[in-house]
Structure 1
Amino acid sequence: MPSVLLEWNPDLPDPWPGGYGPAVAAVDDGGTFRRRIPLIAGFPPVAGTEVWLVLRGSMRGLRGLVGHGVVVPPGSGDTADAVTVDFDRLLPLGEQVPASLLEEDVPNLPRVDGAASVPSASVPALRRLWSGFLGADPDPLSPAPGTIAAEASGLQRVNAYEHNAEARRLCLAFHGNCCAACGLVPAQRYGPGTEALMQVHHVVPGTDLPADYALDPASDLVPLCPTCHAVAHTRVPVPYTPAEVRGLLAAAPDAASRAVGADAVVVGSLVSAEQQQALDDAARLRGLR
């Protein structure tokens, strides 16, 4: 699907229904903000088109990348002279990706005069810049809008990302159901019925893949257990590789020994009354006592 840069000048009358601030708040709550935009040259009215909102303000500092959205199919009553965009990420004014970073990190971006198409070769760099600027979300396995192509995941209405099940199946058939970082085999550790716990990880970050990339599950994906997968994605925009996660695991015993304090529970230590109470409460909640 195409990607376009859409210009917005906040010095002009506010085109956001209810104001831009409430739109930012609505998106921050995990939703989207729908806005009708008049058709202009360079803005293809194709459902699925990715929209990058670019600020152009006369005030110093109000320039840069401020939002991301997707064109949605027209609904009943929509006119042909406008297009509907669901914005899924909006940054507060003053917190946008600076224009200087766009110019430095994303090659061949066109000059925006209303709207302009993003060259397909520039899209991976744009995603990487956007991802690195946003940083890791509380759930590092839920990609922030704009960090991967829409074709790479399906967004459910509950805001859960569903990955390609067939690609996962082929990856595990080729590599086996063993974590490439820690070596965990769920069925050996936890017993039968736990094979579905294994996840798969992109060897090449999704931010670097062009929209028309054809995924090879055997060479592009590797198995990672849920814990190692989450750890890999705590670094953005380029996640840790399985080898780097293994390095973190190898260094963990020394780090743990330095971090152990008087209140830490380790093998052979006495459990405090508060810690024992917490264990008892958890057991009762699980119905074990």
Structure 2
Amino acid sequence: MSRRLSVLAGSGALVSHVVAAAMAAGDAVQVVGFAPQPERAGVLLVGGDLRNPTGAIAAIVAFKATHVVLAGGLMISDGDREALARFAGGGHGAAQGDAALSSVTAAIEKFSGAKVIGVHEVAADLLAPIGQVAGRSPTAAELAAARQGLVAAREIGRLDLGQAVVVAGRRVVAAEDVGGTDELLERVAAHRAAGRIGDGAGPLVLVKAAKPQQPLHVDLPAIGPDTLSGAVAAGISAIAVEAARSLILARSELVAAADRYGIAVIGLGADG
């Protein structure tokens, strides 16, 4: 059965992939853009403002949406978080971290009457599988580092800090924060250039995992070709993501980049 789908859209290629998958399934699609969006044939485009979430609700209601999906990256300031927390019914001291965004989606459902679903429910082909995703097979040392990193990534997620860590050998050397994965890789590159990491026998491995306390419809970790470019610049030899809880963007381009750079890209199950 087709849906009337409102896409609350940030930046990046994920938005276009979700829109295309929804339209291929026969859905009527509206994009509420919280970042600049291109015109897309057959798609209603309206602007959104994080400081005025009721405006987005009005657009969703006017479209008579049956479902809502969040897609794309957003830079959310403290002021934006305060506005979202007020919208979700929290007081002055309400939690404002990324995990608290689950209360925002509950408020969207309450005020719009539409069901919030995950990106993976619109474009299931994006989910990372268990095992080799792209590139060469990981070495035993890379696999061991990836398994350690998966545990660490879940822990920083539990702290609502980020979704990614970098492991050097068997030591976690950097964690994602509000700057995101790109900034994390830039920091790792700087540490490596300064000789702090990367000069030993152990590999540098990037690992991404979903925040344990955050529903999957809120924010799944993702990697794409740009992630590989940043990883190469940082001296990272392998990338691991949590299987079935992470997204692989522009898969054919990512596969080509992994082959070109000689990077191992793998999906790890719940038990590593």
Calculate the TM-score normalised by the size of structure 2: 0.20
- Higher normalized contact order (CA 8 Å, seq sep 6+, divided by chain length): 2
Say which one has the larger Rg. 1
Structure (1 or 2) with the greater helix fraction: 2
